[in-house]
Amino acid sequence: MGKEIEKLWKSEDYWAIWFAAVLFVGIIIGAVSMVPKVGKWVANPADAFAGDTGLWIAALGIGLGVLMTVGLAVMRENWKKFFVGFLAVFMLAVISYTIAGQTTVKAWGFGYAIWALFFGLLIANTVGTPDWILKGARSELFIKTGLVLLGGEILFSEILKLGMPGLLVAWVVTPTVILFMWFFGTRWLKMASKSLTIIIAAATSVCGVSAAIAVAAACRAKKSELTLGVGMTMIFTVLMMIVMPPLCLALGIPSAVAGGWLGGTIDSTGAVVAAGAFLGPTAEKVAAVVKMIQNVLIGLVAFLVALYWVAKVDRDPDAPRPSLMEIWYRFPKFILGFAAASVVFSFVLMPALGHEEVSSVLGVSKTFRGWFFCLAFASIGLESNFKELASQLVGGKPIYLYIVGQSFNLILTLLMAWIAFGGILFPVFSE
């Protein structure tokens, strides 16, 4: 018990919760009223840093670096080397945001995540990532903190706006697709890596990168497996965001049905909203809430994967059945922060502060989340190399798994969206 209490200030999972909590509290009490963002630009990148934006972004980098350095110092890690390396990773995140902010690039859907991963991989596989930068490339810590911040955005009042139709699309299709891809990958394709199989299945069926990283933590996957799963997801997300809205128009799919289809299949909240907006306010609303309902499943899926890995995959057949404490040790603790943030914002802050104030708080925390995710993608790239990625693609089975699984997901989600939002089981949705 004493060791478990000690982990509260020595474990990376718990520090992801503490970092997010500090930021949440700072925003709520008014100590942090805004988070700088790289602006849009057309021909001159300097336009993205108009006024004092550049100074505020520099202050943000130093501030986040100091905050996380304190955590690493308490964890008794080399905080001096981390801080220097962190500033370099933050600069890479700024560059990624800047490229993504170019209007044409933004219109095509190539967001900061793709650029951060690309630049990280480029450095790692050409000149090689210097060791001093790697000290600041804490991809898991960044993404875990971002996921806890994401939990605050999962508001149950928003989920209830779609009611049973939204739950039907998100909570029936998602586990069905996960199970289909798991059995297809392990029994039909006979993929050697079960952890890679479940990462791709979770990324495809739940919510892309966020689910992939949560599940990777639960099954203790290799860094190369996570990188491959994340890379595949982001590439196909861009393609689906561009192709699916015009396809919905060409097929004459009703707005609410199209929104349900987009929200249940496109693997990124930002891409879902952008694709839904192309089809109008009804599609945008339905798509965003369906994706939000899917996001709720991140914690549950991670828990079930951790449970299955302890009880089946990693278990010695001759060993006794694993105890509940062993399952607890394997469970990714940052998921507790994700769930707690959702509960606190939904049932404590929403009644106490009201929708407008909570929306304002989440607007600031969402920008923080974007920065942490960008740092994470840059770090994943910096820590990866193409040789390891190539070894995961032997025989093309991961790509085959994704394409078959996503095809199944597209067909099943469209069917369920039509049943849920097309006036078959429930009245046609309208705002």
Is residue 223 very low, low, confident or very high in pLDDT (cuts 50, 70, 90)? confident
At 83-119, the pLDDT tens digits run 999 999 999 999 999 999 999 998 887 889 889 989 9
Measure Cα distances from 72 to 68, 76, 89, 383 in Å. Answer: 6, 6, 16, 19
Residues 122, 383: contact at Cβ < 8 Å?
no
DSSP code string of 57-116 = HHHHHHHHHHHHHHHHHHTTS-HHHHHHHHHHHHHHHHHHHHHHTBHHHHHTT--HHHHH
Token output for 75: 């964890």
Instruction: Kindly report the average pLDDT of the chain as a whole number.
Output: 88
Hey, which residues does 41 pair with through a beta bridge? 102
At 61-93, the pLDDT tens digits run 999 999 999 999 998 888 889 999 999 999 999
**Phi–psi pair at 102, nearest 5 degrees:** -65, 135
What was the pLDDT predicted at 69? Answer: 95
State mean pLDDT over 126-148: 92
Residues 298, 210: contact at Cβ < 8 Å?
yes
Is residue 159 very low, low, confident or very high in pLDDT (cuts 50, 70, 90)? confident
At 170-183, the pLDDT tens digits run 888 999 999 999 99
d(CA 80, CA 75): 13
Between the CA atoms of 286, 292, 293 and 294, what dihedral angle is there, to the nearest 10 degrees?
110
What was the pLDDT predicted at 429? Answer: 65
What was the pLDDT predicted at 166? Answer: 82
What was the pLDDT predicted at 319? Answer: 63
Is residue 288 very low, low, confident or very high in pLDDT (cuts 50, 70, 90)? confident
At 23-73, the pLDDT tens digits run 999 999 999 999 999 999 999 999 999 989 999 999 999 999 999 999 999
Is residue 322 very low, low, confident or very high in pLDDT (cuts 50, 70, 90)? low
